[in-house]
Amino acid sequence: MSLTENRWLVVVGALTVQMCLGAIYSWSVFVNPLKEVFFYTTTQTQIIFSLSLATFALTMIYAGRLQDRIGPRIVATLGGIVLGAGYLLAALTEGGFLLVALTIGVIGGAGIGLAYVCPIAACVKWFPDKRGLVTGVAVAGFGGGAWFFAKVASGLIETHGILIAFKYLGGIFMIAVVAGAQLLRNPPAEWKPAGWQLSEFSARTASAADFEWRDMVRRQQFWMLWIMFLSGATAGLLVIGILKPYGLHSGLSPAAAANAVGILALFNGAGRIIWGMVSDRIGRKNAMALMFLLQGLMMFTLIEMGSTELTLSVAAAWIGFNFGGNLALFPATTADFFGTRNVGMNYALLFTAYGAAGIMGPVLVGSVFDMTGSYVWAFIPSGAACLVAAGIALKLKPPHRAGPVTEC
């Protein structure tokens, strides 16, 4: 069966790739083992996480441009090979901080960056009629992969130790990402679903033009989106990086704290699908405003929610659900506002906000904890930033090439 006969095969490939890439969100299961076995500080564990996220975002700029030119399959295949190699090399490091930072943080992060944009770019081109939904489904694998690999990695660490866990994970990533990449293709030129026409609502909320990246970054809308993405991603990544240690610090058992990691990952995946569906119905700006409002309120409330398994699980679900929405709404909005022809490169540039958040969030919370013994003064500013992002979202309007560069 050809892809034009069943475009959902592209989504199958996207989910396979994204599940493996999402394993980075299970990083908190490595934090305490690294501290106990190799005597890392909390800040060092978060530097590795931040390096991975920052390298991921920077590599995506190159990958976005490359996949726009040669298609998603080859670029995603290369990403799988690089990601797997990073973890396999980490197994040979004997736990040295600089070497683990290089292999997991830089090489592994580069592999994620090469592969990540390819499924998203392919899916938004195949599904102009369900852009929010299919983008959410495509990236839901990233959140689902975090839940799955949190369980897998915890079991491997307990049974074989950290370094052997890296070895097994590297092999899994290399095989699965390369296999999933083979299903990724772009549709034929000018292809659209049979009988589909752009709805009146979509016509009002999307740009009519395909923007080159140079034109896009001169638009005020791009920088509004960038600040919003930075705010939402910082809050989510801050919590993802320390969720299990936060539960342990609050007095929970290791099993209860690890359970919260799995819950966050599951709701991260669900949030991508549901927020994508919601945005197709109520519009991207309204969905973003509501999502950021809810996330900001929870970041303030999280201060008091670590003491019981139930409350931490609720907080983890809430934060994961809203964080996941970022990864569905921003690529869909990029396609809406700036067109699909250059969506790989354009979204990669917007995604640098995620890379900046990957440095700000985890390093902020690690440093705050090392200095104060508490996470509170990391939660409060990130919550405030989310509330600011909710206000920015309400002012969003699509750009038009005929208008002034700073049109809003």
What are the DSSP calls for 316-353, one per residue? HHHHHHHHHHHHHHHHHHHHHHH-STTHHHHHHHHTHH
Domain boundaries defined on the chain: 9-186+204-393
Question: Which pLDDT does position 269 carry in this prediction?
Answer: 81
| Side chain identity at residue 378, one-letter code | A
3-state secondary structure of 407: coil
Task: Find the largest Cα–Cα distance for the chain.
Answer: 62
State residue 400's pLDDT score: 75
> Which ranges in 206-350 belong to alpha helices (H)?
213-216, 220-249, 254-282, 284-301, 309-338, 343-350
Question: Residue 372's CB: how many other CB atoms inside 10 A?
Answer: 11
Q: Provide the pLDDT for residue 133.
A: 84
How many degrees, rounded to 5, is the angle at CA 26 between CA 260 and CA 82?
A: 170
Task: Provide CATH code, domain 9-186+204-393.
Answer: 1.20.1250.20
Asked if 262 and 145 touch (Cβ cutoff 8 Å), the reply is: no
- Write the DSSP assignment of 29-81 as a string of letters: HHHHHHHHHH---HHHHHHHHHHHHHHHHHHHHHHHHHHHHH-HHHHHHHHHH
38 and 77 in contact (C-beta within 8 Å)? no
* Beta carbons of 267 and 320 less than 8 angstroms apart: yes
Asked if residues 122 and 183 have their Cβ atoms less than 8 Å apart, the reply is: no
Residue 40 tokens, joined: 């890392």
Residue 46 to residue 38: CA distance in whole angstroms: 14
Token pair in block for residue 312: 């931490």
**Residue 297 burial (CB count, 10 A):** 16
CB 246, CB 373: distance < 8 Å: no
* Distance from chain centroid for Cα 222: 18
- Of 278, 308, 312, which is closest to residue 298 (Cα–Cα)? 312
What is the DSSP track for 188-213?
PTT---TT----HHHHHHS-SS---H
What pTM was estimated for this model as a whole?
Answer: 0.76
Mean pLDDT for each consecutive 10-residue tract of the chain (408 residues)? 70 94 87 91 88 90 90 96 97 94 96 93 85 81 82 92 96 97 88 66 55 92 96 91 83 84 84 89 92 95 84 92 92 89 89 87 83 84 95 91 46
